Chains A and B, each alone.
Chain A
Amino acid sequence: MKWSEKYLKRMREKAHEEALANENAIEVRDLYKSFKLPTERAWGLKQAIFNRLKGIKGFTKQEVLRGISFDVKRGEFLGIVGRNGSGKSTLLKVLSEIYVPDSGSVNVNGTLVPFIELGVGFNPELTGRENVYLNGALLGFSNKEMDEMFDDIVKFAELEQFMDQKLKNYSSGMQVRLAFSIAIRARGDILILDEVLAVGDAAFQEKCNDYFKSLHGNQTVILVTHDMGNVEKFCDRAILIENGKITCEGKPAKVTKAYMKLWD
């Protein structure tokens, strides 16, 4: 796999250069996304045929994103806030190419590492080490790249002695620490975090806080959260999403105030 590793590295370096050449890390234009939600039990063949015969469409269309446009500058820490069901997570999934938008465009300059959830694909029967490599492959890193990041990840998680034990023997705190360390030590140009900021005990949280502060200006991050304290602490800029539209955008203090007003 030597030559393929080289190829991968070259591709990544090229992407990285392109990312540096452009001032914007992400450009989102006029994004629309809707889902077809089954009305009654439209699951299964019988119901589908039944609905067809009776002329029932079997679903209602729910518009989740309705014309979202914004830019994220290189090195910017952007916060996205909004009520439950306002479309934040859907937006992140469209940015991460998990969902296909109905219309509009997303332009990503550089490699994007999405963490919609921590430890996706973690398997309790595998060792910590094997899980790190599997997780890395799922995020698009080669084994060589993971070799380079491995020690750093393990050190940050403070799990050096446990890497050859199966994940099922980890405490839940240790599991999230490992997942979280992969998330923030993975070397992508753009990091996407969905409500996964501080995990573990107080000491570990403190360490995470310091780390996020140190990121300032060096790493593009998009963070979805409900914790307004974190928005003000870490973010350079924030946007508020309400019913699939951006209703407030700008300085964190302004956006968090608008967010609080939603309940007045």
Chain B
Amino acid sequence: MGKSLFGKKNRVLLAELIKTDFKLRYQGSVLGYLWAVIKPLLMFAILYVVFAKVLRFGDEIPHYPVYLLVGTVLWNFFNECAQQGIHSIEQRGDLIRKLSFPKYIVVVSATSTAVINVLINICVVIVFALLNGVVPSLSWLLVLPLLVELYLLALGISLLLGAMNIKFRDVGSIWEVLMQAMFYAVPIIYPLSMVMNTSILAAKIIMLNPVAQIIQDVRWSLITHEAATEWALSGLAWGLVSIFIVIVVFILGVLYFRKKSKYFAEEV
């Protein structure tokens, strides 16, 4: 009866929930959906003033502002996606307690706004890059699979931690602190070359983090091939580690979620 995981009935529900989220997100604000673009740009402006102008990071990096913008846009996407995803199940508890539908729909629909936002923001990045004198190239196409990789990571984390968060509400709080730490462990505001000048090993360790790998790869394909990537830094075999992490996290997330979701209605 169309009960399969990606059955038509479930897709109708997913589409309806995404539409609702989208409609309600910026309800009652004057600028409405423009906020999706304005907010990351303002965040970027703050970071730019502090780190590029005051602390003079990235003086030797070509197109450093674009570099910084790419970092913040991708980080915001990852942060928003995981944050919304992890808390989606408890937030939609009213539905889960009273209706029967595959629970993954709740998680996917909660991350949808972040996906729409990042697609808009990537367009802003491209305009910004062109204004900054970056020359378009075919490697820009690589951005799409990299975004997919980042989304799979965020979704995997959402499924895994979201399911845990039902039983142990501490998980959500722990994750927030972890994200704060990770913000500084990933080359967003500082260029990776700064770390490389001090310790190559430290740079290699940083790049094992899939978020760092993706940010650097997007910079490499979008802005300049001078951006250090995991491949160039650690060789082919090590270059695959972060992709491997993403796959493992995603599979673990799906399996754990599937096992636990049967009992969400009782526990949420």
Contact = CB atoms under 8 A, between A and B. Distances in A.
Interface of A: 1, 4, 7-8, 11, 15, 35, 43-46, 48, 93, 96-100, 111, 114, 116-117, 120-121, 123, 125-126, 130, 133-134, 137-143
Interface in B168-183: 168-171
B225 interface: no
B170 A140 contact: no
B9 A138 contact: no
B36 to A, nearest CB: 18
B50 interface: no
A125 B1 contact: no
A139 B265 contact: no
B53 interface: no
A99 B168 CA distance: 20
B20 A134 contact: yes
A137 B168 contact: no
B52 interface: no
A76 to B, nearest CB: 21
B12 A98 contact: no
User: What is the predominant secondary structure among interface residues of chain A facing chain B?
Assistant: loop
Contacts of A123: 20, 24
26 contacts: A4-B12, A15-B1, A43-B169, A44-B169, A44-B170, A45-B171, A46-B170, A96-B100, A98-B265, A99-B265, A99-B266, A100-B263, A116-B98, A120-B95, A120-B98, A121-B95, A123-B20, A125-B27, A126-B24, A134-B16, A134-B17, A134-B20, A138-B13, A138-B16, A142-B9, A142-B12
Given A44-B168, A121-B99, 6 more contacts: A4-B11, A11-B2, A45-B168, A48-B168, A114-B100, A138-B16
B59 interface: no
Interface of B: 1-2, 8-9, 11-13, 15-17, 20, 23-24, 27, 94-95, 97-101, 167-171, 262-263, 265-266
A4 B8 contact: yes
Contacts of B2: 7-8, 11
A146 to B, nearest CB: 10
Nearest to A194: B98
Q: Which of B16, B23, B265 has the most CB of A within 10 A?
A: B16
A98 B100 contact: yes
Given A125-B24, A133-B16, A138 B99 contact: yes
A111 to B, nearest CB: 7
Contacts of B11: 4
A88 to B, nearest CB: 15
